[in-house]
Amino acid sequence: MWVQAVTDAKRAIGRPARALVLTLTLVLLTIMPGTAHAGLSGFVPSSRKGAGEVWVEFPRFTEPFGDDYVGDYALTNGWGFGLGVSFGLADKLCLEGRSLQTNHTIEDAEWDLDLAYVGLKYCMVRDSPFQPFLSAGYVRQNLETDLSCVEENEYVRLTGHGILASAGMDYFRNNKFFITLRVEYAFVDYSYGVFGTEEQDLAESFDGRVLSASIGLGYRAPIW
């Protein structure tokens, strides 16, 4: 079952507003490194160890680019909760895994966008509370909702695989608590679906490319 397309009026208003927010976020990621406090230099531990973290994103802005997303699954802005682990390979390079669930609205229905990600993260600065980074890796995404309580509707889950590229900034208030800004672009094709109790491979893959930007608050601590 496909969700009805959003109206042209909603798109005309919503897409420029989200694009503006994404642009402002990118500007912040560019100018914030220059404001780092020299007095805090060196307080952040080296990445040559394992760390675990939890964070909340409030909000998470989304701008779908895939034709199928724009036409049938036009995600609104939402919020999310994530868990992650990392292991340092060098002072500025680490292997990381993240799991994130974000909540969105599509045509007045609540949908979850879940991702599981494994990739490499490069931190450009390690001796400042402002730490810009780049990352890229494999991502598995689920887009799902349960409309079984609504007449003539059902549980729907779409599953896809692809690549997730990120750019962002972590600002550490101390060794554990941080504020994060992140911009991500997911190159995902959904090829498998569950509709009610029926599981099936989609005859044509669903273009799920989406640009996201988020502001969050997190806690990070060494785990080994």
Q: Which of 13-22, 43-52, 90-99, 189-198 has the lowest mean pLDDT?
A: 13-22
CB atoms within 10 A of CB 46: 11
Q: Please report the pLDDT score of residue 91 as a whole number.
A: 82
Q: Is the pLDDT of residue 4 over 50?
A: no
Q: For 42-93, what is each residue's pLDDT tens digit?
A: 445 555 578 899 999 888 888 888 776 766 777 788 889 999 999 988 888 9
Q: Is the pLDDT of residue 26 over 70?
A: no
Tokens for 176?
A: 């554990």
Which residue has better confidence, 65 or 20? 65
Domains with residue ranges and CATH for the chain: 8-33+46-222 (2.40.160.20)
Q: Is the pLDDT of residue 33 over 60?
A: no
C-alpha 173/C-alpha 187 separation (Å) is: 33
Q: Which pTM was predicted?
A: 0.76
Q: Please report the pLDDT score of residue 35 as a whole number.
A: 45
The single-letter code of the amino acid at 141 is Q
Q: What is the DSSP letter of 7?
A: P
Q: Please report the pLDDT score of residue 34 as a whole number.
A: 45
**Are 79 and 55 within 8 A, CB to CB?**
no
Q: Is the pLDDT of residue 141 over 70?
A: yes
Q: Are strands 109-123 and 177-195 parallel, antiparallel or unpaired?
A: unpaired
Q: Is the pLDDT of residue 9 over 50?
A: no
Residue 128: which pLDDT band, with cuts at 50, 70 and 90?
confident
- Scored b (16 or more CB within 10 A) or e, 142-176 reads bbebebeeeeeeeebbbbbebebebbbbbbbeeee
Q: Please report the pLDDT score of residue 150 as a whole number.
A: 58
Q: Please report the pLDDT score of residue 159 as a whole number.
A: 93
C-alpha 182/C-alpha 121 separation (Å) is: 13
Helix spans in 55-96 (H): 67-72
**Are 85 and 52 within 8 A, CB to CB?**
yes
Give the helix/strand (H/E) hosting 14. helix 8-31
C-alpha 142/C-alpha 159 separation (Å) is: 5
- Scored b (16 or more CB within 10 A) or e, 177-187 reads ebebbbbbbbb
